[in-house]
Amino acid sequence: MGTQANYAGGKLIAVDWGTSRLRAWLVDGGGAAIAEADSDQGIGALSGGHEAVFEALVADWPKVPAIMAGMVGSRQGWREAAYVPCPATPAALAASFFRFSTGGGRPMAIVPGLVFHAAWRDGDVIRGEETQMIGMIDREPAFAGTVIMPGTHSKWVRIDRGTIVDFQTFITGELFALLSEKSFLRHSVAGGGGDLVASPDFGLAIERTTGEALPFLASLFSVRTRQLLGNVSREHNLAYLSGLVIGGEIAAARDLGALGPGTAIRIIGSRSLARAYANALEVAGFDAEALDGSELVLDGLTHLARTIGFLEKAA
């Protein structure tokens, strides 16, 4: 109990509540995290009972307002928050928060998601990553370019000096898992792990899909024939398959106008994924800079908390 005194300066609880994890930070008046808590009770594991789960996690902390982002605001979450249309500013997001009070009287706010309606396809949505975008804009207000958030469902977001212009989702990580683990190609690739980027076959696949215009759908069967005819090892073949899906994603994003000569690029993601994408982009002729995603979530949440009065404006 000796540490409880440290919580006294807490003014806000910032929450990142996604499908598989719940993370909370106790934040002081200056926006610094003074305590952290997390659990595996993600939205995907719950069917109701959100308030009890949340209050149990932060029971030792002061009864201050909480701001939340992620799947907690989806139809399957605690309360459904809106989708704000792009182009969108941090102010537009702040104006569409879902506000409520818990049974215990704690003021709550859920960050809305983003929706983008393109002429050439149906709408695309973001829920969760918008908060990292806000954190990124808070740090680099003059940034104009493309932000890539690789993962199970990669997001490519175009930003222009504080405005989230548009975005595109690619299901790259999921597709790679399906192809390498569930398709007939699983017999031709290693079981996973290892440093895929270190294999020259990763770069070869990137070069073919981005430089030589090999269509992604025309590239997949060759993962099998490389083993059948060329005796390529399963480890190198896994790297090749990884390069095909990431290279296919980069080529498609380029076709959509998210990449061009001189486009400024930031990558937000885990160290290994960020490295793979930076390497792939380099092969494709683009420079990219990697940022730490977990820090940006907290930055975004505290920035947004200030705009809705949950935290005092920064001095």
CA–CA dist 314, 130 (Å, integer): 21
CA–CA dist 137, 64 (Å, integer): 26
Give the DSSP H or E segment for 179: helix 172-181
From 47-55, 96-104, 120-128, 157-165, give the range in contact with its own copies by CB under 8 A: 120-128
By CB under 8 A, tell whether 7 contacts its own copies: no
CA–CA dist 286, 250 (Å, integer): 10
Our CB check for its own copies shows the closer of 29 and 200 to be 200
Sign of CA dihedral 185, 187, 189, 192: positive
By CB under 8 A, tell whether 157 contacts its own copies: no
In 3D space, the residue among 275, 282, 286, 194 whose CA is nearest the CA of residue 240 turns out to be 194
From residue 132, how far is each of 47, 64, 241 by CA, in Å? 26, 23, 29
By CB under 8 A, tell whether 158 contacts its own copies: no
Residues 116 and 86: beta-carbon distance below 8 Å: yes
Our CB check for its own copies shows the closer of 83 and 277 to be 83
By CB under 8 A, tell whether 40 contacts its own copies: no
Applying CB under 8 A, what is the total number of residues that bind its own copies?
46
Candidate residues 148, 253, 276, 298; the one interacting with its own copies per rule CB under 8 A: 253
Which residues 90-119 are close enough to bind its own copies by CB under 8 A? 115
Give the x-and-dash track for 68-87 against its own copies (CB under 8 A).
-------x-------x----
Which residues 169-228 are close enough to bind its own copies by CB under 8 A? 169-172, 174-175, 178-179, 182-184, 208, 212-222, 225-226, 228
CA–CA dist 203, 247 (Å, integer): 9
- Tell me which residues touch its own copies (CB under 8 A): 75, 83, 115, 120-125, 153, 168-172, 174-175, 178-179, 182-184, 208, 212-222, 225-226, 228-230, 248-249, 251-253, 255-256
